Amino acid sequence: MIAVLGDDRGPLQESAHRRLLTWGAMAVPLLKEGAEAAHMATRTRCRSLLREIEVRDLLHRFARLRLEQIGRSSAPGLLDGAVMAAQMVRTFVPELRSLAAKLRRVANKLRRDCEGRSLPMCARLLAERLHGELGLSGCDADELDVEHVLIDRALVNGVGAPIALSLVYLLVARWAGLSAAGVALPNHFLVRVHGPRPLLLDPFHGGRVIPKADCARYLRASGYNRVRAHLRDLTDREVLIHYLRSLRRASNRRPSPHARATLGKALDLLETS
């Protein structure tokens, strides 16, 4: 079938493509060999088919994500979903384990620092860790790119979109023992840290505390009268939906129709389940 895949005759090539795609994982070892073949057409089509099988498997795994809970224990599922979304867009993405280990190291230090501290101090320490130790900052809003939305690229480059930085905040805060949830505003994203007097943090602007009254004024000035609906805590499923939507919008700036189509399928899985 791999030999036929390199055939110049369309019907034969399409037949081989469908058969190999049906075989899926069983065909992967030999497709990897074909991806290094001397024949350019065979090499190119094997690599394309390998990527197609990989993306299909990612969507199957994505459909089985467990995102029902909000709280300290829900961080792994949220990170797993964000990493899988990145893998749908890019071929080379760090493993989930390595990203989790990096964020857990920061969270463990933060947990020790927060012992016996007030919620405002914990929020301040969270911001200092992420913007100081990890060097995170907000990207230029006029130059939003896929690199700014992908959580792994935001961590590497130190520059991210509101949703990417908020994901990092959520994960680190929860692993540090804090209760945190995402809050979606029009064209922006915040994180609420729960306590006796909950705080709204703006990861895009250095983690500063945003008074709820300021958010309400911003919403009304922008034509949104349902203030409470916009300032509610989101479930992790809703956070991931916002992440995928931002990622799909950012991918519109690049000629990547396959990535946009795959993200659309992932969104459908989240929105209909």
Greater pLDDT, 252 or 56: 56
176 pLDDT exceeds 80? Answer: yes
Distance of CA 19 to the CA centre of its chain: 32
Q: What percent of the chain has pLDDT over 90?
A: 69
By the 8 A CB rule, do 22 and 56 touch? no
pLDDT at 250: 87
Do residues 179 and 84 make contact, with C-beta atoms less than 8 angstroms apart?
no
Predicted pLDDT of residue 47 = 93
- The mean pLDDT of 162-182, rounded to a whole number, is 95
Spatial strand order in the sheet of 199-202: 180-185, 188-193, 199-202, 208-209
Q: So what's the pLDDT on residue 209?
A: 95
In this prediction, residues 153-180 reach a mean pLDDT of: 94
> Does pLDDT of 69 surpass 70?
no
pLDDT digits (tens, 9 = 90+) for 185-229: 988 999 999 999 999 999 999 999 999 999 999 899 888 888 888
pLDDT of residue 161: 95
Residue 71 pLDDT more than 60? no
Average pLDDT over residues 258-265: 88
Average pLDDT estimate for 248-268: 82
| pLDDT at res. 90 | 86
Kindly report, residue by residue over 82-126, the tens digit of the pLDDT.
999 999 988 888 888 999 999 999 999 999 999 999 999 999 999
pTM assigned to the model: 0.88
Q: How confident is residue 75, by pLDDT bands cut at 50, 70 and 90? A: low
pLDDT of residue 254: 64
> Mean pLDDT for the chain?
90
More confident residue, 32 or 74: 32
> In the numeric block, which tokens belong to residue 233?
């805590």
Q: What would the mean pLDDT of 43-63 be, rounded to a whole number? A: 92
Measure the CA angle with vertex 98, ends 159 and 135; round to 5°. 25
180 beta partners: 193
